[in-house]
Structure 1
């Protein structure tokens, strides 16, 4: 705002400096806007600090304004240039990048969607993603890369922005990207399971066993009744555990519940096998959970109960034990030879044909 003593300026002077000159009514002083904005950390800039720091109020000494402007490479002229560049938003790097961003974002979205579609198919079929050799010279880059290549060949829009047409640092095919997409799918599945539970009570099923790499793992399953009254059993997570003591397993479950935002108080049942670290009344996993929630009744795994029944019966009845021994021997003998398996299949086929001809089997 320009008023007061500034009106005493000669109009010619004012027209010359009005683009960068600002007036303070309170201090009755003029300031150089450009030098004020781009002065250094000490508040200094140019030959005259008054216009960029204290303010100019020597109204009878207009020549100092010209001294402040200085030569072509003066601090004031550099500050004016910086200010003009700042005001030209349409020519700024940010504006140019914004135009580029729309195209780049669209291409990136197509590449990401292609990777997501491939991941969805592989996850649905339970197929492995990666192979030992995914280099450019590899004849078979395994499922993920080969299926993505096939997808690009069938879709021209995808083909234009993937593989060799994509930037080297934005391929959307790295192992980290694949793992991140799989993790996102897992999060969506967990989210849908929680929608089925609908903040209601549920049961906890836990079992632990080693995988093919001899790592001890704990599988966690939820058992609940959905909104429609149907009993559902849903796999939630598989957790690597360094040891299988009840205290360590309880700590792993607490961490999982904290991550999922669940509470032990919502449990209405827990099911394990008969292992001492799981079902033991005093030292098993059931004990610390029951101490936190007395409503989490422990139920022995039905499948494991059936297995124990079969074992007990086989031990007490020699005929049953002999039957299972014969089955085991037969599987070992036949399974070790392709000729024997083929012979059994042929005998079985002939038996079926005879029964059909005799009318014993209807087709």
Structure 2
């Protein structure tokens, strides 16, 4: 009786493990699970069931336990079971990301989209942080459905996710959103709400989105200008009204720049003083001290602020003569090398 029971337990574990392995593989590859027709007579029952069939063809022991050979009450292949396994895997991934973040500072990157199938608003939350080896990581952390896209709602939902995983909101040192026009007002208010709670949660407009807007506007206006030149309207004055096209392009670029506030623009400019490119050509002690004093004053004691200027002078001499600090191409490379050398 005990032998039979032990064998049944092992068979059950193998059956569940097979489903888990298929779910994990499909999730890792980013493949769809379901098929349009999952009936036994279908020629393509979807990736999940077809992968199970493939595993069966290579393993007779598995074949005796899954699909048609599994008990009707415990096949472990239903969409509900697939989702439950996915949820367990997602929780393990989030726990690992949380472990990697530790007590470090981190940035949040948030994007909003609408689930047209469910008619629900949703937002993705991505964490950007530096791991223990000094590498910058960006990790998709959660997908949250929200009742509306008001700034306070988004702020509360983001805070709930962060708090649920025991991350300190005070450790948020940056926030970024795509700046889409339909959400611009809400994003701006959301920035202010987080900045009120987190004094170092500086906002940076998504540079990919800035580049996209710049390219779209420039290409569109360039085509119109080329057309006017081709038909001689720019020289003859016939196209005097179309000259507004050039002005509109300039306006679009100015409007794009305005999405970064003066404070954020200054922050990015000062940060470039740490850039190791071209033999530390941008290295500027005054700018670095200003960065510490104006933007991160709570991270430095008064004595540390006073000593910082002298330390930076020694640092500059050291990095320019130390071979380990040559040929670095980014601030991230510099941070990693400082960590490796314990400077």
- Structure 1 length-normalised TM: 0.56
Which of 254, 259, 284 is 2:189 aligned to?
284
User: Which residue number in structure 2 is paired with residue 232 of structure 1?
Assistant: 137
User: Which residue number in structure 2 is paired with residue 156 of structure 1?
Assistant: 60
| Structure 2 stretches lacking a partner, 5+ long | 229-343
Pair 1:192-2:109 in alignment: no
| Structure 1 stretches lacking a partner, 5+ long | 1-95, 324-363
- Mean CA deviation greater in 236-245 or 211-220: 211-220
Which of 42, 53, 75 is 1:138 aligned to?
42
* Larger RCO (alpha carbons 8 Å, 6+ apart): 2
Which of 303, 322, 338 is 2:208 aligned to?
303
Deviations 1:124-177 (A, max 9, x none): 221111123322333321111111022112102211222233221111111121
Deviations 1:103-123 (A, max 9, x none): 221011110111112112211
On the 8 A contact 1:268/1:295 being kept in 2, the answer is yes
Query: What is the alpha-carbon distance in structure 1 between the residues aligned to residue 219 and residue 24 of structure 2?
Result: 45
User: Which residue number in structure 1 is paired with residue 165 of structure 2?
Assistant: 260
Q: CA deviation at 1:273?
A: 2.9
Please give the root-mean-square deviation of Cα atoms over the aligned residues, in Å: 2.7
Pair 1:105-2:9 in alignment: yes
Query: What is the alpha-carbon distance in structure 2 between the residues aligned to residue 136 and residue 229 of structure 1?
Result: 51
Query: What is the alpha-carbon distance in structure 2 between the residues aligned to residue 106 and residue 170 of structure 1?
Result: 15
Q: How does 1:64-143 map to 2 (within 5 A)?
A: 96=1, 99-143=3-47
**1:155 and 1:315, CA in 2 relative to 1: closer, same or farther beyond 3 A?**
closer
Q: How does 1:202-221 map to 2 (within 5 A)?
A: 202-213=106-117, 214-221=119-126
Higher gyration radius (CA)? 1
SS of residue matched to 1:224: strand
On the 8 A contact 1:246/1:277 being kept in 2, the answer is no
Query: What is the alpha-carbon distance in structure 1 between the residues aligned to residue 27 and residue 216 of structure 2?
Result: 37
- Structure 2 length-normalised TM: 0.59
Q: CA deviation at 1:314?
A: 5.2
Q: CA deviation at 1:277?
A: 8.2
User: Which residue number in structure 1 is paired with residue 105 of structure 2?
Assistant: 201
**1:275 and 1:160, CA in 2 relative to 1: closer, same or farther beyond 3 A?**
closer
**1:135 and 1:289, CA in 2 relative to 1: closer, same or farther beyond 3 A?**
same
Deviations 1:241-270 (A, max 9, x none): 221110111121122123322221121111
Name the count of aligned residue pairs: 227
Which of 25, 33, 51 is 1:147 aligned to?
51
- Mean CA deviation greater in 191-200 or 288-297: 191-200
